[in-house]
Amino acid sequence: MSIVVQQNVWVAIYPYAQRQVPKDAGFAWHGDDCRPSCAGCKIGLRHKVWWTAKPECAALLRSECDEAALALLTRHITSVEASKAMDADIDVPVPPGLAYLPYQKGAIAYALARPNTLIADEMGLGKSIEALGIINASPHVKSALLIVPASLRLNWAREAKKWLVRDVKTFVVEESKSQIPADAELVIVNYDLIRSKRVNHPGGLLDTSGKLVRQLQSSLIHAQLMARSWDVMIVDECHRLKDTKALQSIAMFGVAEQKRKGITAVPGLMHQAKQMVFLSGTPFQNKPIEIQPILAALVPSEFGNFFAFAKKYCNAHQDDRGHWDFDGASNMPELQEKLRSTCMVRRLKRDVMRELPPKRRQVILLPADGAAKAVAAETKAWAMHEERLAILRNEADYAHAANDQTAYKAAAEALRAAGKIGFEEIAQERKNVAMAKLPRVIAHLEDAFAQGIEKIVLFCYHHDVSNALMAHFGDAAVKLTGEVTSNNERQLAVDRFQTDPAVKLFVGSIGAAGVGHTLTASSTVIFAELDWVPANVSQAEDRCHRIGASLHTNVLVQHLVLDGSIDARMVQLLIEKQEIADAALDLATEIDVPVTATILRRPGYYPEVSALKQSAVHRAMQHLLQLPAFDKIDISVGRKLALAETLTDGQAWMAEALAKKYRIQLTSEILVGMGLDPF
């Protein structure tokens, strides 16, 4: 058994009993009954041999290749290995404080060597970072178009700002009537906004079957994007383009001319791009035929013929009624070889496990579309809460500055009480935001499952959220929240998630499910709602990151937050505190509420203030009170300082801080008296 080279093609020398081996690898049989157009005869092959000119077929039997056959396969094997690369010897520019993981540099190097690329790394490995790295490594890229799901456009904008080394003008398209600035260098748009629509032919034209011919009418956004040339086009979650008849696919790929139906050719966005980078952890979700439109765009010379692809890789055949069936699969090893050698880079988590940190935390910023009112109400309630706390904090600071310990203790207690009351007051607004966010949370979960994630642990806070998730996912989900009071029921939920393949979602509350339980069947943790205590979140993460969980020593943690919400402002602080705790050998720190009360301080804390400076800052307070200049947060304390007969050292220190805050409204004489530069 061996593979040799004859007439510059690969020939399999196999005994008759093992003829199925080269046949399964895609080799063709060159027998005696050849057609006049026989390709084997044309190149001078002898009869009765298995042969192939396709390196992706010969590579499947590379262990049987002789030296010459392997030499002929060198280029193909090099390309395939590059698609699996765990590192690359290239320098890719990166912003200070950031770094590409070695396997990410491998993907960037692979893409730089090809006109178009499909990055198919498994979810959570950083495909967006790799795509942006391609831009960083390509000085010629002056314009980039990013086509992404609606829920990810803001997240892409944040990632671009974080990872791009060049200061580019970014424009995020948010509505169908947007005018894209002509000088925008990075345009981010979602699939929905590029869709064309079908309208009746203005002349009432009929096709051969008597039906009205419908024409495509470009959307305003699509027309603007088509008017430009793009150095690179990045398409995230490209598996959404599997249906060539869908309007978003037509907008991307265009339409070929169909004379019989009176349809003229319509170009798509891909024709305006010099380079294309498609991203998807699951390029086809159900059957191989779904990937053909994507591959036809990326490598038309190899995959552009629909029927050739379907017959080779989809077992295409006609049924008894003459209808074509494209739902099968055939020659899958050969397809993978061909994909890896032409356009696809793909690594799995298990391939790069050692390079990944134990926990990877991501913030997914969701657009507030449809939830704007809830977010606005939450923001207003939070601002009122913050204002009330600021006033009380000032009162506590004033009492301390006056050395009045009785008043200080009372003020500090009032501050603590107000913090708790305010937290309760905004609870309803936070619940409204959580419910408004729910459709996007469900869409994110569905997309994660579609990408091949088998099981997910999701944490939330409100019962209405957990119940809505259970109603949507039904028997595919289990729940462990405060509403589940029976210990047996709680353990049953955990056991089903751990052992039942049909259960793919664990819905838990941080309080009830965040400690004690083992949920190592999943390596993906998603927080639909934010907990402000870092230790609680770390504990919840560790349900999937446990000793002995060899399959899931690396956990992906995602926080889903609405743009403009309180969670969006607090989540980065939360993660920073977690990382500090991680760095300190898990010595976690806690915060009870977002704003904590002033710490009690001892008398004599303030430095001594001269009589001259005390007089100057006292005069400054009196001047500001007369204007009036103090805002509603500072007015109470400002009035007390201005009307006081004399100031303690602490009061003088506080008055100086206020004077500096409002210095623009003070006279030059007062500023000089305080020892400050009037200019």
pLDDT mean by block of 10 residues, the chain; 679 residues: 86 85 87 78 82 89 89 90 89 92 93 94 87 94 92 86 93 90 94 75 53 65 92 93 87 74 72 94 82 94 92 87 86 89 88 74 80 81 82 88 86 80 73 86 88 88 90 92 83 89 91 75 87 75 59 75 80 73 44 34 64 92 91 91 91 91 90 82
Q: What is the structure's pLDDT at 309?
A: 92
**pTM for this prediction:** 0.68
| 178: in domain | yes
- Domain end position, chosen among 601, 632, 649: 601
d(CA 470, CA 484): 13
Phi, psi (deg, nearest 5) at residue 428: -65, -40
CB under 8 Å to 514, separation ≥6 — which residues? Answer: 459, 508, 536, 539, 540, 543
Distances, alpha carbon 117 to alpha carbons 37, 138, 284, in Å: 35, 14, 16
Total structural domains in the chain?
A: 4
d(CA 225, CA 176): 12
CA-based nearest residue to 191, from 255, 135, 145, 131? 145
Examine the domain organization and report whether 134 and 171 are in the same domain.
yes
Can you give the residue range of the structural domain that contains 52? 2-71
DSSP E strands in 17-113: the ranges are: 28-30, 49-52
| 652: in domain | yes
Phi, psi (deg, nearest 5) at residue 266: -125, 120
Examine the domain organization and report whether 155 and 196 are in the same domain.
yes
- Domain end position, chosen among 253, 278, 297: 297
Examine the domain organization and report whether 52 and 67 are in the same domain.
yes
Examine the domain organization and report whether 376 and 254 are in the same domain.
no
d(CA 664, CA 397): 24
Q: What is the structure's pLDDT at 263?
A: 57
Q: What is the structure's pLDDT at 594?
A: 36
| 503: in domain | yes
Q: In this structure, are strands 324-325 and 344-345 parallel, antiparallel, or unpaired?
A: unpaired
Decide: 99 and 87 in contact? Cβ < 8 Å.
no
DSSP E strands in 334-419: the ranges are: 344-345, 359-366
664 CB neighbour count, 10 Å cutoff: 6
- Domain end position, chosen among 559, 574, 601: 601
Q: What is the structure's pLDDT at 433?
A: 82
Q: What is the structure's pLDDT at 360?
A: 80
Examine the domain organization and report whether 472 and 488 are in the same domain.
yes
d(CA 247, CA 601): 66
CA-based nearest residue to 465, from 431, 414, 495, 420? 431
Examine the domain organization and report whether 262 and 365 are in the same domain.
no
| 482: in domain | yes
Q: How far out from the chain centre does Cα 114 lie?
A: 25
Examine the domain organization and report whether 188 and 222 are in the same domain.
yes
Examine the domain organization and report whether 597 and 519 are in the same domain.
yes
Examine the domain organization and report whether 620 and 588 are in the same domain.
no
Examine the domain organization and report whether 414 and 530 are in the same domain.
yes
d(CA 154, CA 136): 20
d(CA 525, CA 53): 47
d(CA 185, CA 167): 10
Q: What is the structure's pLDDT at 366?
A: 79
Which amino acid, residue 530?
A: L
Q: What is the structure's pLDDT at 210?
A: 56
Q: What is the structure's pLDDT at 516?
A: 64
Query: What residues are paired with 50 via a beta bridge?
Result: 12, 29
| 501: in domain | yes
Cis peptide leading into 628, omega within 30 of 0? Answer: yes
d(CA 506, CA 508): 6
Examine the domain organization and report whether 593 and 610 are in the same domain.
no
Examine the domain organization and report whether 186 and 211 are in the same domain.
yes
